[in-house]
Amino acid sequence: MSQQLRNIAIIAHVDHGKTTLVDQMLRQSGTFRENQQVAERVMDSGDLEKEKGITISSKNTAVKWKDTKINIIDTPGHADFGGEVERILKMVNGVILLVDAAEGPLPQTKFVLRKSLALNYQPIVVINKIDRKDARPDAVLNEIFDLFVSLDATNEQLDFPILYAVGINGIAKTELEDEGKDLAPLFDLIVNHIPAPEQISDAPFKMLVSSVDWNDYVGRIAIGRVEQGTIKTNQEIVLMDRKGNQKSKAKATKLYTFNGLTREPVDEAHAGDIFALAGYDAVEIGDTLTHISDPTPIEYYDIDQPTMAMYFRVNNSPFAGREGEYVTSNMIKDRLEKEIRTNVSIRVMQTENPDIFKVSGRGELQLAILTETMRREGYEFAVSRPEVLFKEIDDELYEPFEEVVVDVHADYSNKVIDNLQKRKGIMTSMVQEGDNHRLEFSVPSRGLIGFRGEMLTETRGTGIMHQQFSEYKEFAGEIPGRNRGTLISLERGEVTPYALEGLQDRGQFLVEPGDPVYEGQVVGINNRVDDLVVNVVKKKNLTNHRATQSADAVKISQARKMSLEQCIEFIDNDELLEVTPKSLRIRKLHLDHNERKRAEKKKEAVGQ
C-alpha cells in the first residue's frame, strides 16, 4: 500500500507570498476544475486572516504531481504565531523557504529557518516576487547565504537549491534569464530534493498530534503524521499525554486524508502520511495516539515560552452587559480554556480575583487577535495594558528583547532612531537601500509597546516595522511612558456638540456628539502630559432669545477612531479597554475621580 509521498512546509516572513504560492500550486496541480471560481489566498479561511492579509493558523492541503502525493502546510509568517510554525515542522520532512526579492531575509525568516536547520532539513530556497520594480535577487541570494552561515548550517544545508518565482502568476524558474511558464520546476524539485517520509508499516501504529480542529458533527479532530504502522476506522487505540499518562481508550470513528482543500474520509491511513482522526474529545496538541500493544508517547518538541501577558477581566463598567452575549467570568474562562487546547503558545492563569485571568502569549498582535476573535463571537470583557514577563536568573532581573527591523525613508530615519534609543533600543546596523534606510535594533519588548503607532505618525505612514523575539537580557532600566495624558469624562450622559466645541483646544476627542459616555471613561487625548477631567455632556442653557443661525452652526473637528490594536498600544497602566461586540471604550481603572486620587497617593507612598 506504500505510495509516493512528500511532506513539506512553506516557511517565510510575513507577506512574502506563501499563501499566494500555495493558491497557484493548487491550481496547477489540477485540484480545481477549470471553470471553478476560487477566492484569492484561498488558504486564509478565517475572517481576520482575510481582512488583515496574514495567516494566523497553519493549514493543511495536498496536491498530486505526476505519481506523487505532496502534503503541503501553509504556515503563519508573523512572529507572534511562531508557535504554529514550530509544532507543524515536526509533521514534515523538508521546507520551502520563501524570501521576497526586494525585502530579503527579515527577522521571521531567521526564526523559521533556525528551527528548520535544527531539525536537519535541507531547505529549497525560492526567491519570490522577482517582478517587483525594486527586486534585487542577486543581493538577496547573498543575504540568504550569509543567514545560513550565521545559523551554523551544515555543508549539505549550505548547498541549497534555488528557484526564482513570481508566485502570484504561478511561475518558477531555475535561472533568472529563463522564460518560465509554470510551477513545474518547483514541483519537480520537491519530488527530487525533499526526502520521502519513513514508512514503517510493520510496527504498531503511532501518531503525534500536531494540530487540533473542531467539527460540529464529529467533535474534536486530531491532525498529525503517522509515524509508524497503519490505522483503520473503528480500530481501538490509546490516547497518551506527553508525560506518558493514559488519557483515554476509544475507537477512531472517522479517518480523513487531505486532498486539495477538502478532507476525504478513508478507511485506513498509513505510515508517513498526514491525516486527521475523530473520536477523542480530550485530545490536545502534543498528545500521542498509539496502538494498545505499545502505550508509549512520542517525544514532544517543546515550543518557546510566552513573553507578554494581558489581564482579561469581567466588564464592570456602567454599560456592562448591554452589548455582549457572553459576559460572566465562567463564560470567559471556558472560552480561554478552549483557546489553549488548540493554541499552543497561549497560557491562561486564574488570578486571586475569580473575575480576572492572566493571558500570556508571544506578543501584542497575538493577544489582540484573540481579543478580536472573542469580541466577534459575542464576548464582552475588559483587558489591561500588555506587560512583559520578566525572569529572575542568579538574583538578576532579565527581560525579553526583540530584534527590530525598520524600513524608513532617509528623511525620517533620525526620528525613528531617537525614539527607539529613548526606549532603550541599541542600533545594530544601518544600511542604505535607494532612498530608504534599513535600521536594525535590539529593543526591550517593553519599549515596543505603543511604538508602532508613534513610528507611523513620525514617518507619515510610510515606515515599515518587523519584530521578532530574540532573547532574555538584563533589565534595561526605566522607559518613559506615554507622552500625552487623557481627557476623562466627568459624568454619565450623551456627548453634546456644545460641550465639545468649548473643549476643542484641550486635545483630540475619541467620541462624537450623541455617543453615550460614563464617569471615568477616556473621551480624548490631552495636548499635555497630565490627565484632565472634562464635562462632555454639558448642555447649552436655553433662553427666550432666538439664536442667530451662525451661532447654531457648531464646528467640531473629527473624532479619532482607533482600531483594537491601536487602543491596546495606547492604554496606560491605570486604564482598561472595554471590549464588546459593538464598541471599544478606553476607561480608567478607578472610575471615580476621588478614588483615582487615593490610588495615586498610595502608589507614590509605596514608591517612596
Q: In the structure grid, which three cell numbers stand for residue 158, read together?
A: 549550505
Instruction: Find the distance separating the first CA and the last CA of the chain, reported in whole Å.
Output: 75
H-helix or E-strand spanning residue 440: strand 436-444
Handedness of CA 298, 299, 305, 311 (dihedral sign): positive
568 in a known ligand binding site: no
18 in a known ligand binding site: yes
129 in a known ligand binding site: yes
Q: In the structure grid, which three cell numbers stand for residue 607, read together?
A: 514608591
Q: Report the alpha-carbon distance of residue 104 to residue 403 in Å, rounded.
A: 16
Question: Residue length, the chain?
Answer: 608
Q: In the structure grid, which three cell numbers stand for residue 281, read together?
A: 474529545
- Are the C-beta atoms of residues 10 and 18 closer than 8 Å to each other? yes
173 in a known ligand binding site: no
Strand pairing of 381-384 and 387-388? unpaired
Handedness of CA 279, 281, 282, 285 (dihedral sign): positive
573-582 burial, b at 16+ Cβ within 10 Å, e below that, comes to: ebbbbbbbee
Strand pairing of 206-215 and 219-228? antiparallel
Rg of the chain's alpha carbons, rounded to an integer? Answer: 27
130 in a known ligand binding site: yes
- Are the C-beta atoms of residues 306 and 346 closer than 8 Å to each other? yes
128 in a known ligand binding site: yes
Q: Report the alpha-carbon distance of residue 315 to residue 329 in Å, rounded.
A: 9
Q: Report the alpha-carbon distance of residue 490 to residue 168 in Å, rounded.
A: 54
Contacts 24+ apart (CB under 8 A), 44-52: 44/19, 47/376, 48/369, 48/372, 48/373
Q: Report the alpha-carbon distance of residue 105 to residue 77 in Å, rounded.
A: 12
593 in a known ligand binding site: no
115 in a known ligand binding site: no
Q: Measured between alpha carbons, how far is residue 357 from residues 57, 307, 351, 567 in Å?
A: 24, 16, 6, 20
Q: In the structure grid, which three cell numbers stand for residue 411, read together?
A: 528623511
- Are the C-beta atoms of residues 455 and 417 closer than 8 Å to each other? no
138 in a known ligand binding site: no
Q: Report the alpha-carbon distance of residue 438 to residue 87 in Å, rounded.
A: 31
Detail the residues annotated as belonging to a binding site. 15-20, 128-131
Detail the residues annotated as belonging to a binding site for GTP. 15-20, 128-131
